Amino acid sequence: MLKPDFDDIFMDLAVSLAKRSHCIKAQVGAVLAKDTRIISIGYNGPPAGTHNCDEEFPEVGCERDSKGSCSLALHAEQNAILYAAKNGASIEGATIYVTLSPCIACARIIFSMKIKKVIFLDSYAQYKGIPKDEGVEFLRKFGVEVVQYKKKREEAA
């Protein structure tokens, strides 16, 4: 029986975590891992203890900023990185698995935290209807490996 690859396990977990999001516009999950071990997890939403968009603004979602993004939420990558940092976990050299490629703001944080690799499922640019993945381009320009996820091993029948 073939064992699942860790990339598959971590991306499957990121996809599952995205379902925890209270955002009514997009659900994004992230897993921060190093040497086959999970450091931290996250999904997009407002800071803990504030509110849940799907409960407080069920019809329209929360207020939008000038770029049309949620003005209240942290992105999945931000939540995973912040939780790890808050708890003193070593992030340098880690890989982050995320269901949507990083926006430019998240890319700057990923680079600054010395995360070495980003594996993403879907394109942020395609989701937002913008011409290019600025976050992906930024990370690649400064030496961070960024790859779009492709399942490595199919489930054994």
What is the SS3 assignment for 64? strand
Options 3.30.450.90, 3.40.140.10, 2.40.30.170, 1.25.40.340; CATH for 6-148 is 3.40.140.10
Residue 77 annotated to the active site: yes
For the whole model, what pTM was predicted? 0.90
Which one from 55, 77, 92, 134 is the annotated catalytic residue?
77
Helix/strand/coil percent split, the chain, to 5: 30, 20, 45
Which range has the worst mean pLDDT, 25-29, 49-53, 126-130? Answer: 49-53
Residue 157's pLDDT is 42
Check whether 62 is labelled as a binding-site residue: no
Q: In which band, very low, low, confident or very high, does the pLDDT at 57 lie, cut at 50, 70 and 90?
A: confident
42, containing H or E segment = strand 37-43
List all residues 6 or more positions away from 153 whose beta carbon is below 8 Å from its beta carbon.
2, 3, 4, 5, 8
Check whether 75 is labelled as a binding-site residue: yes
Q: Which residue has the higher pLDDT, 126 or 155?
A: 126
Task: Give the domain ranges of the chain.
Answer: 6-148
Check: CB of residue 103 under 8 Å from CB of residue 122: no
pLDDT in tens, 144-153: 999 999 987 6
Check whether 53 is labelled as a binding-site residue: no
Residue 104's pLDDT is 94
How confident is the model over 111-118, as a mean pLDDT?
98
